[in-house]
Structure 1
Amino acid sequence: MSERRPMAEQKPINPWVKTGLELGPVLGFFIVYMRIKDEVYPILGQDYSGFIVATVGFIPILLLSIAILWKLTGKLSRMQIMTAVLVIVFGGLTVIFNDEAFFKIKTTIVYGMFAAILGVGLLRGQSYLAFVMEDLMPIAQEGWMLLTKRLAAMFAAMAGANEIVWRTMSTEFWVKFETFALPAALFAFFIAQAKMLERYSLEKKGPEA
């Protein structure tokens, strides 16, 4: 049996507020981009596309939403911290070099890193996913290992899909793909795991013990 590790206490938060803070910056980026996608902005002697300008606005909004989540819950996940760092780095490179590719490839790196981290744990015979979510979903170790394998493969597929889309499609298509298709695919993935999670659930076995 896996040994449960004490986790930092997390304050309760309204799920609608949490969802709004997590999805708000992404939807905001989408709305701003769609409004200014055809515009060109001359700044300090250099022309910036609407995509670059929307990226500049996205970075502080995302950091603000993460700061609010931290204030409300008293905790930030490693994924949130890593995502924030990558957004700052690649968003900054996008602006500095006036090149949309940096921000687009950020998504490939995020999902690729998630896949790699989970994969390293699997090679060590561990589910790093369980370390993060064990208290939220009490399932048997076999279930965690299976879910981790599937999620690692899903993240790898999403990284590959993003790489193909941003290199072969228009910026507008990529923005829609990033905003709607990838989150929808991840949501559908977890819905598809419902039967497996029920099979390995520890809660239903509790009364029989």
Structure 2
Amino acid sequence: MTDQQHIFEEAPNTPGHKALNPLLKLALELGPLAVFFFANSRGEALVDHFPALAALGGPIFIATALFMAATVIALALSWALTKTLPVMPLVTGVFVVVFGGLTLWLQNDTFIKMKPTIVNALFGVILLGGLMVGKPLLGYVFDQAFKLTDEGWRKLTLRWGLFFFVLAGLNEVVWRLFSTDTWVAFKVWGTMPLTIIFMMAQLPLLKRHSLEPFGED
């Protein structure tokens, strides 16, 4: 097997797969979002300390630039620690850089607001499309936290695929009908709690299809 085949993290249950601490993996995936929220809410204070940031525009544009930087750093750290790239964060990162770049270039925050809609819809298509060809791709995301049967990964992938479409629809409603600050707050205090609630609702499925005693190392 060539080195190129190891650029991306391997499929679930692959022998010899190098695991990353689940809490560290979560921090790398959610850290950029926390940076985005903080920078948007404290944009003026950041400009006071770092005047060069004023050239980017208002708080949403400063937050977008720092979001892009934090996303690239998180992916670089993932590569440094495992010598592989996490598939779904990588896809998100590409869209963050592209849409963030358009946002800064055109000074139009519509692009960064549309990014979650497009990314979530894309994830939904990828997950459900993967199931259609017999590939439960969600295992790439959670295989270090859970060890499930193939049937378990299929069912979990189906549920997450549908949930991503729900998130895409919610993002469209919020960014189109509410203020920028409300939309940013929704990304952290709306999307994250909804995702946590959804994850908790999957516990019975995880217990039924776990390959090892659930909740034990």
Is TM (by shorter chain) over 0.5? yes
Q: Distance in 2 between matches of 1:69 and 1:57?
A: 18
Q: Is the aligned partner of 1:80 residue 2:89?
A: yes
Check conservation: 1:8, 1:75, Cα contact below 8 A: no
Shift of 1:56: 1.5
2:106 to 72, 75, 97: 97
Aligned residues with identical type, % of pairs:
35
Matched residue, 1:162: 171
Shift of 1:35: 1.9
Matched residue, 2:184: 175
SS in 1 for 2:107: coil
Matched residue, 2:36: 29
Check conservation: 1:37, 1:51, Cα contact below 8 A: no
Amino acid across the alignment from 1:35 = R
Check conservation: 2:100, 2:112, Cα contact below 8 A: yes
Q: Distance in 2 between matches of 1:174 and 1:81?
A: 23
* Distance change >3 Å, CA 113–CA 130, structure 1 → 2: same
Q: Distance in 2 between matches of 1:145 and 1:17?
A: 26
Across the two proteins, how many residue pairs are aligned to each other? Answer: 197
Q: Distance in 2 between matches of 1:23 and 1:59?
A: 13
SS in 1 for 2:42: helix
The alignment's TM-score, normalised by the length of structure 2, stands at 0.78
Q: Is the aligned partner of 1:10 residue 2:18?
A: yes
Q: Distance in 2 between matches of 1:184 and 1:26?
A: 14
Shift of 1:173: 0.4
Amino acid across the alignment from 1:10 = K
- The Cα RMSD (Å) is 2.8
Amino acid across the alignment from 1:154 = F
Q: Who wins on radius of gyration, i.e. which is larger?
A: 1
Q: Distance in 2 between matches of 1:179 and 1:149?
A: 24
Q: Distance in 1 between matches of 2:75 and 2:140?
A: 21
2:200 to 182, 186, 191: 191
Unaligned runs of 5+ in 1: 205-209
Matched residue, 1:124: 133
- Structure 1 stretches of 4+ with a deviation exceeding 6 A read none
Check conservation: 1:122, 1:145, Cα contact below 8 A: yes
The alignment's TM-score, normalised by the length of structure 1, stands at 0.81
Q: Distance in 2 between matches of 1:118 and 1:36?
A: 36
Q: Distance in 1 between matches of 2:140 and 2:26?
A: 22
Check conservation: 2:12, 2:139, Cα contact below 8 A: no
Shift of 1:66: 2.0
Q: Distance in 1 between matches of 2:58 and 2:197?
A: 33
